[in-house]
Amino acid sequence: MALALALSARADLASAQGRGGRGGGGLNIPPLLITSPAYPDGGVIPSEYVGAMGFSPELNWTGGPENTQSFAIIFQGIDVSFRSGTDDVLHWILWNIPGTATGLPRGGISAGTVQGVGITGQNAYFGPGAPAGEPVEDSAIPFCF
């Protein structure tokens, strides 16, 4: 099972381009570095972050573009169960994260942040895990930022 977390930043591009939004010149935006102390990059996801009863992991980021107005997070995976094919699974989607934020706490969100409807039909985090009936040790999931 492969998972990806996308963090996007919406910045004032006209200001960043320095040309009133008319294009020209390249944007010099530093890379966005996303980390989590919850588990190591490429490591096994601990059970406390798995399934509907799991907590969302603490996330931290640096390098957001100057003048960022808000961030959005999409935590999406691929359901690789032989019974269901390879459909995408939306574990968590958030937007309106304040542009001044540098992370999210374990199990929580920032004031004003909106959670969208995920795979469970709820506005909540649903952690990744092994497909039903398969051993948990088979859920060593590559986690990409």
Give the mean model confidence (pLDDT) for residues 11-15. 44
Assigned fold of 3-12+33-144 = Phosphatidylethanolamine-binding Protein (3.90.280)
Distance CA 110, CA 35 (A): 17
Q: Which of 42, 44, 46, 64 is nearest to 56 (CA)?
A: 46
Does the pLDDT of residue 27 top 80, yes or no? no
Tell the burial category of 80 from Cβ atoms under 10 Å away from its Cβ (0-12, 13-18, 19+): middle
pLDDT of residue 49: 87
Measured CA to CA, the distance from residue 133 to residue 45 in angstroms comes to 18
| Residue 88 pLDDT | 75
Tell me the domain boundaries of the chain. 3-12+33-144
